[in-house]
């Protein structure tokens, strides 16, 4: 049995805590997804990640608050104004509170994410964040997944109770989207400047994205000191302009996740690694965080993803358990056991 020497050199260095460089990341991303070397890569990333994060899983929940025809017109999104079939809608404050209580009832949710459209009502969001901060457990953080905003808005949101924000300079931003890459970068700087945790990811990955594109994309998050890094594949939407290009496998997504794990080895700010949508292969390739979802979802063609693609909290808990994690990290740094008994007792 022969294993490529260069790949083993990269992985041996990673085991010693030495981060692979850009060219090394490209080489690892070039590996055929079912090759022996790719299998070893995933095993090494899994071992390193569990050692780094203490075999603790991170449970996250996202509420999609609204839907509308979005002028970003992203070629991979169900909300794109040129072709969306979803009716405009918004959850009432009471509906948001009910969903938030459901997510936080057991006390093991690390963070509650609030997702709004690219164009959003800042004042309404500030009101919602402040209300939720009073209503949900203190150990549960509040994180935002919204459109572009400036430093003034970022500081207002932090003051209202937001702990972090997820924002991406996505693959082929400005080509597969109508959004301005410069404004995306400015929002990232606003998040970091406000003191909120910065959540980033390599997404939305399709079969057409080269190893060079993927390496450069994942390194942006590392260079910006992201608190969470993630890998997410593009979901096949039949009416999408990108549908003809297909969808990568979970096996390929796990390989990308593994490279992402190794790329963050020297990024002290990185507190967890997510894979999206949730899957066991990614959780066994170095990811330790997954998202349950309800409400609107840009990868879904139904108004409430909890009856579509979205996975609920109990399913996410079980997936983390089946992946071998023995505890869940709360937003206050404490941990709770993840055992068969906790799964049985979950509401």
What is the distance between the alpha carbons of residues 247 and 278, in angstroms, rounded to a whole number?
A: 16
128-149 b/e (C-beta count within 10 Å ≥ 16 → b) = bbbbbbeebeebbbbbbbbbbb
Q: State the total domains in the chain.
A: 1
Tokens 């302009």, residue located: 241
The count of residues in the chain is 347
Residue pLDDT, tens place only, 198-241: 999 999 999 999 999 999 999 999 999 999 999 999 998 888 99
| Domain, as residue range, for 196 | 5-345
> For residue 195, is pLDDT > 90?
yes
Residues 297-301: contacts with CB under 8 Å, at least 24 apart: 297/64, 297/78, 298/74, 298/77, 298/78, 298/79, 299/77, 299/78, 299/235, 299/237, 300/78, 301/78, 301/85, 301/86, 301/237
Separation CA 28–CA 143 (nearest Å): 32
Burial class (CB in 10 A: 0-12, 13-18, 19+), 300: buried
DSSP-assigned letter for residue 176 = T
For residues 127-147, give the mean pLDDT: 97
Question: How is residue 89 written in tokens?
Answer: 């809608």
Task: For residue 242, give both structure tokens.
Answer: 């990108």
Q: Confidence band (pLDDT; 50, 70, 90) for 309?
A: confident
pLDDT band at 347, cuts 50/70/90?
low
pLDDT at 172: 96
Q: Tokens representing 244?
A: 């003809």
Q: How far is CA 275 from the centre of its chain?
A: 6
300: pLDDT confidence band, cut at 50, 70 and 90? low
Both tokens assigned to 268: 């002290």
Q: What is the 3-state secondary structure (H, E, C) of 271-337?
A: CEEEEECCCHHHHCCCCCEEEEEEECCCCCCCCCHHHCCCCCHHHHHHHHHHCCCCEEECCCCCEEE
My answer on whether omega of the bond before 204 falls inside 30° of 0, hence cis, is yes
Q: How far apart are CA 121 and CA 119, in angstroms?
A: 7
Q: How many CB atoms lie within 10 A of CB 57?
A: 27
- For residue 106 the two structure tokens come to 């057991």
Q: How far apart are CA 103 and CA 312, in angstroms?
A: 9
**Range 64-83 burial, b when 16+ CB lie within 10 A, else e:** bbbbbbbebbbbbbbbbeee
CATH code for position 188: 3.20.20.70
242 phi, psi to nearest 5 deg = -95, 0
pLDDT band (50, 70, 90) for residue 87: confident
| Assessment of whether the complete model's pTM goes beyond 0.85 | yes
- Contact between residue 317 and residue 56 where contact means Cβ atoms under 8 Å apart: no
* 24, 10 Cβ separation under 8 angstroms: yes
């Amino acid at each position: 049995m022969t294993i490529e020497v260069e790949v083993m050199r990269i992985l041996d260095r990673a085991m010693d805590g030495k981060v692979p460089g850009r060219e090394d990341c490209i080489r690892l991303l070039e590996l055929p997804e079912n090759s022996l070397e790719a299998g070893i890569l995933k095993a090494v990333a899994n071992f390193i990640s569990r050692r780094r994060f203490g075999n603790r899983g991170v449970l996250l929940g996202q509420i999609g608050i609204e839907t509308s025809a979005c002028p970003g017109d992203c070629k991979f999104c169900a909300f794109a104004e040129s072709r969306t079939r979803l009716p405009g809608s918004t959850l009432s404050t009471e509906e948001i509170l009910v969903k938030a209580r459901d997510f936080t009832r057991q006390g093991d949710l690390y963070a509650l994410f609030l997702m709004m459209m690219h164009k959003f009502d800042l004042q309404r969001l500030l009101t919602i964040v402040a209300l939720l901060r009073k209503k949900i457990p203190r150990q549960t953080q509040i994180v935002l997944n919204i459109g572009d905003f400036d430093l003034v808005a970022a500081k207002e949101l932090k003051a209202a109770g937001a702990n972090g924000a997820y924002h991406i300079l996505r693959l082929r931003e400005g080509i597969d989207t109508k959004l301005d890459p410069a404004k995306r970068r400015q929002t990232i700087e606003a998040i970091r400047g406000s003191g909120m945790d910065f959540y980033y990811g390599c997404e939305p990955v399709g079969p057409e994205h080269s190893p060079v594109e993927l390496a450069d994309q994942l390194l942006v998050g590392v260079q910006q000191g992201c608190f969470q890094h993630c890998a997410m594949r593009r979901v096949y939407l039949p009416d999408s302009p990108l549908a003809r290009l297909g969808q990568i496998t979970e096996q390929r997504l796990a390989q990308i996740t593994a490279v992402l794990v190794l790329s963050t080895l020297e990024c002290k700010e990185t507190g967890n690694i997510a894979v999206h949508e949730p899957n066991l292969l990614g959780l066994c390739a170095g990811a330790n965080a997954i998202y349950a979802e309800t409400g609107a979802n840009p990868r879904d063609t139904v108004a409430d993803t909890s009856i579509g693609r979205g996975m609920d909290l109990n399913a996410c808990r079980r997936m983390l358990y089946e992946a071998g994690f023995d505890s869940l990290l709360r937003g206050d740094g404490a941990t709770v056991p993840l055992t068969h008994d906790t799964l049985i007792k979950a509401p």
